[in-house]
Amino acid sequence: MFIEINNLKKSYGQNDSAVQVLNGVNMSVDKGQMCVIQGSSGSGKSTLLNCIGGLETIDSGSVVVNGVEVNTLDSEKLSEYRRSNLGFIFQFYNLIPNLTVRENIRVCEYLSDSPLNLDELIENLGLKEHQNKFPSQISGGQQQRCAIARALIKNPNILLCDEPTGALDSKTSKDILILLEKINKVYGTIMLIVTHNNAIKNMVHKVVYLKDGMVKREYLNESRVSASELEDL
């Protein structure tokens, strides 16, 4: 078990205005697994990712990653945890506008003692001809590929993806998913993918539904299809 979440509770606000968002989440993700997290808007998907990523404090329960209880780490150890384990991909790519594609990726290269090869990664993500352009000069899909490259350059154990295809058309979404699938295969990267898209769950190993702050349903996907075969993206 690589990620283990035990009775995780998380609320925002205090006293009368407190909102209980996660109310006893239990789930786990194994090494090498891709996992989709679904649930209606406001069900706490992003909050859950942020708790796993050590970007939010939790009220009670535990988030254990590779044997380390993340919620007990002090801020220095937490930074180290994020640095050495995690890559984040968001719906809106958060690229640095005045850096080129290549520079945006390089910013994260130094975070690892054993980063992936920058040129290979740029080549693999189809960014070679765009590497010296600025984000404003490339398309949304190309920007998302750049954001993925940036998350991957340090070869993280875990990739946290919050609506990675939310802003993309169906063809570009498929390209991105094929890429994520390839990365998972080659590097065994664990992926937690939050998505409203119903098709994506067909390509992953595990599916988790959140409702009322808890895991309502969870199953292993016995009949995975490859990303290239996904329909209705």
Binding interface with ligand ATP (CB under 6 A): 12-13, 19, 21, 39, 41-47
Query: DSSP assignment, residue 213?
Result: T
Q: Of 23-31, 43-51, 78-86, 109-117, which part binds Mg ion (CB under 5 A)?
A: 43-51
- Residue with Cβ nearer ligand ATP (9 or 133): 9
- Residue with Cβ nearer ligand ATP (127 or 207): 207
- Residue with Cβ nearer ligand ATP (13 or 188): 13
- Residue with Cβ nearer ligand ATP (44 or 135): 44
Phi, psi angles (nearest 5°) of residue 103: -65, -40
Query: DSSP assignment, residue 191?
Result: E
Q: How far is the CB of 171 from ligand ATP (least distance, A)?
A: 23
Q: How far is the CB of 27 from ligand ATP (least distance, A)?
A: 15
Q: How far is the CB of 224 from ligand ATP (least distance, A)?
A: 24
- CB-based contacts of 79, cutoff 8 Å, min separation 6: none
Which of 204, 188, 194 has its CA nearest to residue 165?
A: 194
Alpha-carbon distance of 79 to 84, in angstroms, equals: 9
Alpha-carbon distance of 146 to 124, in angstroms, equals: 11
Beta bridge partner(s), residue 192: 35, 160
Q: Of 10-18, 38-46, 124-132, 211-219, which part binds Mg ion (CB under 5 A)?
A: 38-46
Site residues (vs Mg ion, CB under 5 A): 46
